Chain A
Amino acid sequence: MKIERLHLIGFGKLRNCAVVFDPDKVNLLIEENEFGKSTIVAAIVAALYGFPPRERTTPDALAEREVYRPDDDGPYQVSLEVRVPDRHGWTRLRILRDFRRGRPRVYNLSEGGKEITDEFAQQRKEIGEILLGLSREQFVNTCLVRQAALQVLPDLSDLAAQLQKIADAETGDRTAADAIRALRKALQEFPASRMGSGPLMIDTELQRAKAELERIHKELEQLDQERRRIEPQLVRIGDLEREIEEAQARQRLAHYLRERAEYEQLERARERRESLEAERHRLRQEYEALAPYETFPAAQLANLESWMGALRRIARERAALEEQLGHARRRYAEIREQEGRFGPLASFTPADREQLVVLAEQYKELHEKIHEGRQKVHAEQQRLAERGIHLEEFERWRERVGTLDLEERRRALEAEARRSDLQRQSRLAEERREEHLALCAEIERERDRARQWAERTLILPLMGGIITSIALLLGFDRASILPGLLTALSLGLWLALRRTARTHRRQEWMRARAEADRLQQQIESLHIERAQLEDQMRPLLARTGLESLESLAHACRRLETLTAELQPLLFERSTLRDREREFEQKRGQLRAFLDRAGRPSDEPIQEEIERLIRDLDRVFELKHERTQLDEELAQEEAKREDVLREEQEYRERILALLREAHAVDPTETTPSLEGIEAAVARFREGIERYNALQRVKRELKQVERDLMTLPELPILLEQRTRVRESLSRREAEDPGLAAHVPERSPEEYASEAERWSACERARHEELKRLQMQIAAILDRHEKRRPELLEQEQDLKQHLERVQNFKRAVEYALEVFERIAREIHDQWAEALTDISSELLRTLQTDYAALRFDRELRLRVALRERDDILQTNQLRSQLSLGTREQLSLIARLAVSRYLSRDRRLPLILDEPFANSDDARFARLMRLLLGDLSREHQIIITSCHRQRHEWLKTQYPDLFVQRVYWCTLGPLHTSGPSR
């Protein structure tokens, strides 16, 4: 495409002006600053592409439409005339944009200005995109080189980023790498996180959401379980309700039966009240008839009966007493007569009689014992004589030592025994002393023999001494040694023997000697003790006339022996004598008794004594009976007197009472018992009437009381009617009730109803408690479950959204990464090819430009074999060279994107900061080879510099440069 003319009808500050371009040359638009050169460039872009759509605008870009909006309300239009190649050559088009209306129009100038807007509209692309094959951004990034755009590439490594932007995004200035980062960031920092306080990793978000969901599920499950748990309670509620119904039915029945019973009770009460009123009437009539008996002394009946009973009893007692008195008097006379027959015995007392009986028994017993004793003495004498023991010897020894008492005889015997013992001890001590003395004598004899031996050995030292002395005297010193030694030895031997003789059995001798001395002392003390004993016995010897202690001891022992042998005989004989004496005494006493009874006897016999005792017994009996009769007679007499007095008293009391009751004639003072009895019978009749009166009164009172307990008859009738109505209602409500008949009292039925009511209340309480428990669970369920379900649903949706988002982003990421790689590979290859082709047409120092997958540039120089890597470009290449490379890269991109179309290249104040040489070289590239391929439009304010360049390349300028000017509309273009 070539640009031929730009009409600025109204764009920015430019209005109704035009710029004409030469399609085949380098168009130089040299004007001062603020003239509007950049506006012209913007107008070309806007004519081709319009303004950026709203969604692509950045805050800066947003203002672009407004930046160029004319200040006044005039037209906001541009018109661009271009020519585009076609099959037949070129077609000239006019693009007219009215920015106030929005829709561009396209006219085919080659066909007489025919509007072909619809043809473009059908393609749904911007006009520039259709004509150039580039999007707006692509065009701006490749074909439009704004002021200092090349200089911003101090390092060609930035070129890769720029190329990536072009290669990746048709809109915006981000690369695929940016997009991938954004996608990854969305996964790393999930922007709509709800599970954390800030952005979370999307996986973490998902995990937390799932965990929360699980928690909610568990709680829901717990709620369900809790709800299931009330099932048994519901069953229990059903039971309770049935029980309550039953209790209510029972209550109804109990109340019904209570009322039935009450009705019957009321009926009975009514009947009773009527009968009681009739009874009260009857009793009042009876009372009036018995009223005179009101004052009857009925209270005295008991007294009267008691008195009458006593009077009768007394009369019977009096008769019995008189009969007893007669009988006792007759018996008394008989006893007196019998006592007279026993004469002297009357003076005997019962004590006498007892003494007599005892004496008689003792007398008889002594007689028998004396006879037995005599026989025993004789037999014992016979037996002792056979043993040589005679009573005479006993008497003889008793005559001698019998004067000694037993103690004395014991002492005599002990003294004799002690004397004998002392004598024996003395003899034994003497014998032992003799033995010890004999031992001492023997030891002394042995000592004497040893002493003799020692004396005999004394001669040896004496002789040795002599020999030694001799030897010494003779000067035999050596020879004197042996005798000297022998002398000394013999002297030692002598001394030893002498010591042995002196100490021989010394201890033994000393012990024997000491023992002999002690025995001597003992013997002496025994002698002394025996002498003392004999002195003590001497008075006894003198009393007995015996000479020695042995005789005395013998006499005592013999006497004891004989005494022991003769003891039974002596005892029997003594006893016999005592009994004989006692017998005599008893016989005298018995004789005295017989004499006193007038029955004297020298030798009392047993029969007499017994007869006397029997007579005495009879006398005593008669006497005793008489005494008793005396006492009885006195008592009976006294009793009779008492009875008579008592009878009189009762009689008087009874008569007084009977007179008070008008039961006896007042004039009769001493009526008979029969008369009294008749009066008492009349009293009793009065009593009966009195009692009838009292009964009537009681019954009347009771009737009154009973009537008091019963309601009045109208009230009863009213109550009965009311209960009947209630019963009818109940029967109407439950006809089955009528079949029941009360069997108990209303109170019992009321109690039963109360029991069932209590049962019902208890069931109701349990029911209420269960209902409260269930209600609490259901309330919680009702409140919490919807919350949880809402949370669950919300969370599920969130989870689904997050999962979907994650999946979508991951999907986009995967696709993006793959496509970006493919695109970059394609671009690298294409740019390398295109740049190589470009370089072939351009006179440069580079053999080839190569782009890698990252669209980084490497350069092969003509004069060098190696390839400059991207990181070497800055150091190896000059800035101008790098600008050249940048320009070539842009051209390569534009050719690639425009599918090898030769697109116009618009440079807005290029190379402004380059030095002259570099400026000249770059311009040389543009003016030379590039301008033959591409229409080039250059705007600049540096007129002098371009004038200088013109002087540098005058031919080239003439051939290749067209000086543009901004003129009024309808300015004619350059000549073809």
Chain B
Amino acid sequence: MVVRLRFLQFSDVHLDSRLTGSQLAWPQEKREQRRRELTKLVEKACRLAREHKVEALFIPGDLWDDEAISAETIACVREAFASLDPVPVFIAPGNHDCCSPTSFYSDEVLRARGMRPWPKNVTIFRTAEFRTVPHPARPEVTVTGRAHVRNVPLEERLLSAPIPRPPASISVLLFHGSWIEYAGRDRFEQEKMFTAPFSRQELLAQGFSYAALGHYHHYAEITDAEGRVRAAYTGCLAGRYLSEAGPHYALLGEIGEHGLLAMEKIRVDERMIHDVKVDVTGVETESGLRERVIGRLREHGATASDIIFLRVQGRLPRGLRPAFILEDLQHEYFHLALADRTRPAYDLDTADPRTTQGRFIQEMRRRITETSDPQERAFLERVLDYGLDALIQGEVKPIYEE
């Protein structure tokens, strides 16, 4: 008889994210609405778990974004988890929701805030050491996990040595860390912490039936030599920042002794972030600009409930202001952030190298062409435009800084 465990996995919800400083430029009321939505998503995911009659809920970290999470949100999450009882919920705190003594993972803190402690069906791995607990209803299933106790990078290769644990038919690992072979969009994000690194080889060598992974915000899976999925990042449950554009999922699956037997990615969030780039070079009229942008949005399949990051780039005649022309588009989507990356339509191609302007253009374009670093290229492009602004417009403003 094949041993199976039906589970739901999600992570990196980052509840109560501030949503500030984002290129999405959330306005205050949208930020608050989105925060509320994130909280509701947890409830929704729990409903989903009940509907699919899962036997366990795995949350490998970053349930919330910062220890300054509101008590109200914690209360909602707690109630959502309690509603799953007796289905166990296993949580391995990540770097954002690190399990410090003053964290909301502490029952004392909850009680200090006048709240009830975590329900008994919730198992929180509160120590930095790996701990293995049996599934309360399935003794042949064990769950191993650990907690990040501080939000600091952890360089130690925690999976390089075997994790001691009792034998079990199905052994699950909850782990929050950086898979070094991960190549998702947020891998090289500047602010993304590289912590608790591990390799595919190290993970597979541990021999867990399945590892529920958290930290990276896009779906990724690790398969063994036989092609069986042995670990998966579900990614974040919902997009909050531009780097999280695209669909996001909770993972509904069945674990066998050696990997997933079945899996289904379920979108919990009805919204999706679209990163839409529109090159408007050559457009000379307002209507032309609108047509091009709307056409591009349609290509992306953006719907009214979605979140749009619209990058308008290219060179435009100075009189055309995308921000004004596209202002009404903001009412057609839940949120639309317009990034006007257009530059003045300076004639760069016909520049006469015998003039200062021409030489400057030529020189800068040469440097731009020569560099392979995208950031350096962007920088040199800004230098070019600032220089031309100075020469042609007679004034320089930091309008090209993103």
Contact = CB atoms under 8 A, between A and B. Distances in A.
16 contacts: A54-B317, A167-B355, A168-B357, A172-B391, A174-B392, A179-B390, A186-B397, A191-B397, A771-B112, A781-B67, A793-B21, A801-B398, A807-B379, A811-B379, A815-B363, A815-B387
B109 A815 contact: no
B102 interface: yes
A387 interface: no
Nearest to A826: B354
B328 interface: no
A897 B112 contact: no
A135 B102 contact: no
Contacts of A581: none
B279 interface: no
Interface centre among A771, A801, A807, A897 (most CB of B within 10 A): A771
Given A169-B355, A775-B114, A55 B395 contact: no
Contact of B318 (A55, A129, A770): A55
Given A53-B345, A170-B352, A179-B387, A804 B379 contact: yes
Contacts of B111: 237, 241, 767, 771
Contacts of B68: 781-782, 785-786, 789
A819 B358 CA distance: 10
Given A794-B21, A812-B386, A823-B356, A778 B351 contact: no
Nearest to A797: B21
A192 interface: yes
Cβ-closest 10 pairs across A and B: A793-B21, A55-B318, A785-B68, A774-B112, A179-B391, A186-B396, A179-B390, A182-B390, A812-B387, A168-B356
A823 B352 CA distance: 11
B317 A55 contact: yes
Nearest to A822: B359
Contacts of A826: 354
A227 B102 contact: yes
B337 to A, nearest CB: 14
Interface in B259-278: none
Contacts of A183: 386-387, 390, 396
Interface residues of A, number: 76
A896 B112 CA distance: 83
A790 B106 contact: no
Given A191-B397, A238-B108, A812-B390, A823 B359 contact: yes
Contacts of B346: 55, 171
Contacts of B393: 172, 182
Interface stretch (A228-236, A315-323, A595-603, A647-655): A228-236
A805 B399 CA distance: 9
B371 to A, nearest CB: 13
B360 A815 contact: yes
Contacts, number: 212
Interface string A135-158: 100100000000000000000000
B20 interface: yes
A56 interface: yes
Interface string B321-362: 000000000000000000000001111011110111111100
A791 B199 CA distance: 37
Interface centre among B69, B71, B387, B391 (most CB of A within 10 A): B391
B383 interface: yes
A170 B382 contact: no
B319 A54 contact: yes
B401 interface: yes
B332 to A, nearest CB: 28
A802 interface: yes
A771 B347 contact: no
Given A55-B318, A823-B359, A124 B398 contact: no
B390 A816 contact: yes
Interface in A757-810: 767, 770-771, 774-775, 778, 781-782, 785-786, 789-790, 793-794, 796-797, 800-802, 804-805, 807-809
Contacts of A661: none
Contact of B109 (A126, A241, A778, A896): A778
B40 interface: no
A824 B108 CA distance: 76
Interface centre among B101, B349, B360, B363 (most CB of A within 10 A): B360
A820 B112 CA distance: 69
Given A54-B284, A786-B68, A819-B360, A793 B396 contact: no
Given A170-B358, A186-B398, 17 more contacts: A55-B317, A55-B344, A125-B349, A169-B355, A186-B396, A227-B102, A771-B112, A771-B114, A789-B18, A790-B21, A807-B379, A808-B382, A808-B383, A815-B360, A823-B355, A826-B354, A897-B352
Interface in B37-67: 66-67
A859 interface: no
Contacts of B349: 124-125
A180 B21 contact: no
B387 A227 contact: no
Contacts of B112: 230, 233-234, 237, 770-771, 774-775, 778
B364 interface: yes
B394 interface: yes
A943 interface: no
Interface centre among B70, B71, B350 (most CB of A within 10 A): B350
A371 interface: no
Given A238-B108, A782-B71, A171 B394 contact: no
A95 interface: no
A786 B18 contact: yes
A905 interface: no
A778 B70 CA distance: 9
A746 B284 CA distance: 97
B113 interface: yes
Nearest to A223: B68
A171 B347 contact: yes
A171 B355 CA distance: 11
A53 B317 contact: yes
Interface in B287-308: none
A178 interface: yes
A231 B101 contact: yes
A335 B101 CA distance: 122
A170 B317 contact: no
Contacts of A241: 108, 111
A176 B391 contact: yes
Interface string A285-303: 0000000000000000000
A438 B317 CA distance: 170
A185 interface: yes
Interface centre among B68, B69, B70, B389 (most CB of A within 10 A): B68
B109 A56 contact: no
Interface centre among B111, B319, B345 (most CB of A within 10 A): B111
B66 A785 contact: yes
Nearest to A56: B392
B70 A782 contact: yes
A166 B393 CA distance: 16
Contact of B387 (A125, A789, A797, A816): A816
Interface string B1-42: 000000000000000101011000000000000000000000
A809 B396 contact: yes
A183 B391 CA distance: 9
Contact of A808 (B344, B359, B386, B394): B386
B394 A774 contact: no
B113 A192 contact: no
Contacts of B358: 170
A318 to B, nearest CB: 99
B398 A789 contact: no
B89 to A, nearest CB: 22
